[in-house]
Structure 1
Amino acid sequence: MLYRKMPMNGDELSILGFGCMRLASKEDGSIDEERATRQVRDAIDQGVNYVDTAWPYHMGASEPFLGRALADGYREKVKIATKLPSWLIEKREDMDHYLNAQLEKLNTDHIDYYLIHALVGDLWDTVEKLGVADFLDKAKADGRIINAGFSFHGASEDFNRIVDAYDWDFCQIQYNYLDEKNQAGKAGLEYAASKDLGVIIMEPLRGGSLTKTVPQAVEEIWDEAPIKRTPAEWALRWVWNHPEVTVVLSGMSEEAHVEENLRIAGEAHPDSLTKEEMQLVKRVENKYRELMKVECTGCQYCMPCPAGVNIPLCFEMYNNLYLEGDPDTVRFMYAARVGGAVGTGGEEFASLCVQCGQCLEKCPQHIDIPNVLDSVVNELEGSDLEQRAAMAREMFKQV
């Protein structure tokens, strides 16, 4: 395992952090606690010392899970990061209420790295007026938190002013080879580093979209490389190639993912990719931009939908329609997965959308979700949807 130093305090942090937003889960969506605990502890045993969770992850179950997973001496081996649910704050007292509840959920007396969660410009203005600086100062003074930071999902023009608004220790931004100009982007990464902030990276694989479905046109570009790497390794090495990056979070839910990421994290030094390799990644980026219809990362912030639409799954299938080159299979799998033949059993079609707009303010990517769902309906549903759904239910009933 390679380690990088947190500029403000000198902590030597593993360059790979374990993200607890997409833990191993059972068919009903609940955390597979035995398996996820084993994965978390295995990663820690192999050098990971930064574990990230938050109040809403897994519908509130992630923090209590982590508190249990870090029993038996594992708490002392790691730095815990969790986040104040900023969108729920209505008054100054709420901040202490949530922090104290998180300490109890995590079964600890302090949070090593505490973030104000999912900031955009307007939300920062709100919590700033409610006294978040005073809250952070006092929580640091009394030892409930050690380091203060924020995670960011806003427009690039708001990032620098939030960095400058408080004496932060670190920040967390979305960054991957498709997001150099999205949200904080490369400019934000460099600005934060210039202020000696540690930088934690989320969504290095864009919610798995850079690895789950790799179009043939993209595979052909990767195959040109003299050194053969998986798409996940290319994406992670590209982020770790930036010396400004301190930790990269990966939401690992499969044992094979844990092992692959640990291997890469033992080799991925900054500035280690060649000029030719960086050009290859750029070509892959350009090819993805040609193919993708919606830039959803699957973060689930838009969920639950009050009308019952599975928005991330609808968008995943919509992208697959253009990435996989097999429209009949994708339309069948849309009917199967979104129609309930595979999964929880309930219908979650895009056509259930009632255009309420609640998802719009929640989306970190600022996607016009209702309009894109209209496109999903037009291209993936159609008059034979129920027939496809019935066939899928019959097929998967026999599996």
Structure 2
Amino acid sequence: MIYHDFQGLRLSALGFGTMRLPVLEDGSVNEPLTTEMVRYAMEHGVNYFDTAYPYHGGMSEVVVGKALSAYPRDSFYLATKYPGHQISASYDPAAVFEEQLKKCGVEYFDFYLLHNVYENSIKTYMDPQWGIVDYFVEQKRLGRIRHLGFSSHGGVGVLREFLDAYGDEMEFCQIQLNYLDWKLQDAKGKYELLTERGIPVWVMEPVRGGRLAKLSEEETALLKGLRPDESIPAWSFRWLQGLPNVTMVLSGMSNMEQMEDNVKTYAGEKPLTEAEKKTLADLAEGMMDAIPCTACRYCCDGCPQGLDIPMLLHTYNDLKFSPTFTVGMRIEALPEDKWPSACIGCGACAAICPQSIHIPELLREFTAALEKVPKWADLCRQREEEAARLRAQSK
């Protein structure tokens, strides 16, 4: 197992992310298989386990805590998160934190994160009436949290704003980072900002929810021709191993096969050559089906609605590749008069676009595509209902 140093701690470079644990037919976590996967991880040097309050309807913390209880407390590092990103009428960090300690069966968390500081939730995290950051800073002072950080699906601007306010308190940051999102979601800009601020990077979605683990036959043949003994998911991890500020890579493993393959990959470093990196960059370009916007912003000057057109087109590129709620969250965080639906179709933007992009038509397409993506508020409500069902089922 590859290990990285973090403030004197010896962390396995591969962490077990528990958002996608194996499940049974009724949707509940398959505890025996999860316990076996934890055992395999521990026996093969994985010592970092990442969960969160809402994962698996709130049961991930319970199942992971129970599985880890078989091992000495100082033999693993446990991380969880505060759900300030969820839409709620009020926020009570103390109540949630105490519940999490109880669910996980521990007296402290090695790592604790503010969950998804993005364009909307940053208001919650920075709102003095909730005192969220202050509360967790105090828990760290008391020793109930050993290391405090945050995760984010937000843009570079959000990271900068949050770090300007709380950077002295944040010890690490978890972002979505892989060879596709390096450009598609400007993960490059986020990585460089965090590196500049001296904040170690934790990685989530290294294989983009499995998308980068299942390439086309042609793409697979190309990579196998270069590294016959390497699995396709391993290419994503090897790419990350070339980024010196990456300390922890989390993989949401759903079965033993994924666990075994990832452990094999992290048995040693096999860095990609420059030619191999270019191959992945070319593959990523081909996956994006991107609108060729260069963000020159000529279109913005004459827009009567004041829309941030390059940002909207960039987000549409992301949605076309992967229509998930995290993309919709970015639009929902904007004032409604700045959504793509606010476009009046005047065509002033298209008339001046150097790339000859028919912007009004694309914004209409984007609006229609967003209607098919679950709203974040609806997902929060569904998660609360699912959590209640699973709690009742577990009694």
Fold-level match, TM-score > 0.5? yes
Q: Which runs of 5+ in 1 are unaligned?
A: 304-352, 364-399
Structure 2 residue 231 is the aligned partner of structure 1 residue 233? no
Q: How many angstroms does 1:287 deviate by?
A: 2.2
Residue 143 of structure 1: aligned partner: 143
Contact preservation (8 Å) 1:149, 1:171: yes
Q: Which shows bigger deviation, 21-30 or 68-77?
A: 68-77
Residue 273 of structure 2: aligned partner: 274
Residue 2 of structure 2: aligned partner: 2
Residue 189 of structure 1: aligned partner: 191
Tell me how far apart the structure 1 counterparts of residues 240 and 124 of structure 2 sit (CA, whole Å).
Answer: 32
Residue 348 of structure 1: aligned partner: none
- Identify which of 61, 65, 68 aligns with 1:67: 65
Residue 322 of structure 2: aligned partner: 296
Q: How many angstroms does 1:155 deviate by?
A: 2.0
Q: Which shows bigger deviation, 254-263 or 199-208?
A: 254-263
Residue 383 of structure 1: aligned partner: none
Contact preservation (8 Å) 1:175, 1:202: yes
Tell me how far apart the structure 2 counterparts of residues 362 and 248 of structure 1 sit (CA, whole Å).
Answer: 30
Q: Which shows bigger deviation, 96-105 or 178-187?
A: 178-187
Structure 2 residue 255 is the aligned partner of structure 1 residue 257? no
Residue-pair matches, total: 308
SS at match of 2:29: coil
Residue 98 of structure 1: aligned partner: 96
Give the direction of change, closer, same or farther, for the CA distance of 1:356–1:203 in structure 2 (3 Å limit).
closer
Q: How many angstroms does 1:2 deviate by?
A: 0.6
SS at match of 1:256: helix
Q: Which shows bigger deviation, 181-190 or 39-48?
A: 181-190
Q: How does 1:83-162 map to 2 (within 5 A)?
A: 83-88=81-86, 94-130=92-128, 131-162=131-162
Q: How many angstroms does 1:203 deviate by?
A: 0.2
Give the direction of change, closer, same or farther, for the CA distance of 1:252–1:74 in structure 2 (3 Å limit).
farther
Give the direction of change, closer, same or farther, for the CA distance of 1:298–1:22 in structure 2 (3 Å limit).
farther
Tell me how far apart the structure 1 counterparts of residues 325 and 319 of structure 2 sit (CA, whole Å).
Answer: 17
Contact preservation (8 Å) 1:16, 1:265: yes
Task: Write the letter of the residue equivalent to 1:289.
Answer: M
- Identify which of 151, 171, 188 aligns with 2:173: 171
Give the direction of change, closer, same or farther, for the CA distance of 1:152–1:11 in structure 2 (3 Å limit).
same
Residue 212 of structure 2: aligned partner: 210
Tell me how far apart the structure 2 counterparts of residues 258 and 97 of structure 1 sit (CA, whole Å).
Answer: 34
Contact preservation (8 Å) 2:21, 2:254: yes
Q: How many angstroms does 1:228 deviate by?
A: 4.4
Contact preservation (8 Å) 2:113, 2:148: yes
Residue 286 of structure 2: aligned partner: 287
Contact preservation (8 Å) 2:172, 2:202: yes
Contact preservation (8 Å) 2:324, 2:373: no
Q: What is the alpha-carbon root mean square deviation over aligned residues? A: 2.8
Q: Which runs of 5+ in 2 are unaligned?
A: 291-317, 330-368, 380-395
Task: Write the letter of the residue equivalent to 1:218.
Answer: E
Tell me how far apart the structure 2 counterparts of residues 255 and 301 of structure 1 sit (CA, whole Å).
Answer: 30
Tell me how far apart the structure 1 counterparts of residues 320 and 373 of structure 2 sit (CA, whole Å).
Answer: 17
Residue 295 of structure 2: aligned partner: none
SS at match of 1:294: helix
Q: Deviations over 1:274-325 (max 9, x none)?
A: 111111111221222249973338689999xxxxxxxxxxxxxxxxxxxxxx
Tell me how far apart the structure 1 counterparts of residues 193 and 370 of structure 2 sit (CA, whole Å).
Answer: 41
Residue 44 of structure 1: aligned partner: 42
Contact preservation (8 Å) 2:117, 2:125: no
Task: Write the letter of the residue equivalent to 1:164.
Answer: D
SS at match of 1:241: coil
Tell me how far apart the structure 2 counterparts of residues 128 and 203 of structure 1 sit (CA, whole Å).
Answer: 26
Identity of matched residues, %: 34
Tell me how far apart the structure 1 counterparts of residues 100 and 328 of structure 2 sit (CA, whole Å).
Answer: 23
Tell me how far apart the structure 2 counterparts of residues 224 and 257 of structure 1 sit (CA, whole Å).
Answer: 22
Contact preservation (8 Å) 1:156, 1:183: no
The structure where helix makes up a greater share of residues is: 2
Q: How many angstroms does 1:67 deviate by?
A: 1.1
SS at match of 2:212: coil
Q: How many angstroms does 1:95 deviate by?
A: 0.7
Q: Deviations over 1:177-197 (max 9, x none)?
A: 110135461121122123222
Q: Give me the TM-score of the superposition, normalised by structure 1.
A: 0.71
Q: How does 1:378-393 map to 2 (within 5 A)?
A: none
SS at match of 1:207: helix
Structure 2 residue 75 is the aligned partner of structure 1 residue 77? yes
Q: Give me the TM-score of the superposition, normalised by structure 2.
A: 0.71
Q: How many angstroms does 1:122 deviate by?
A: 3.1
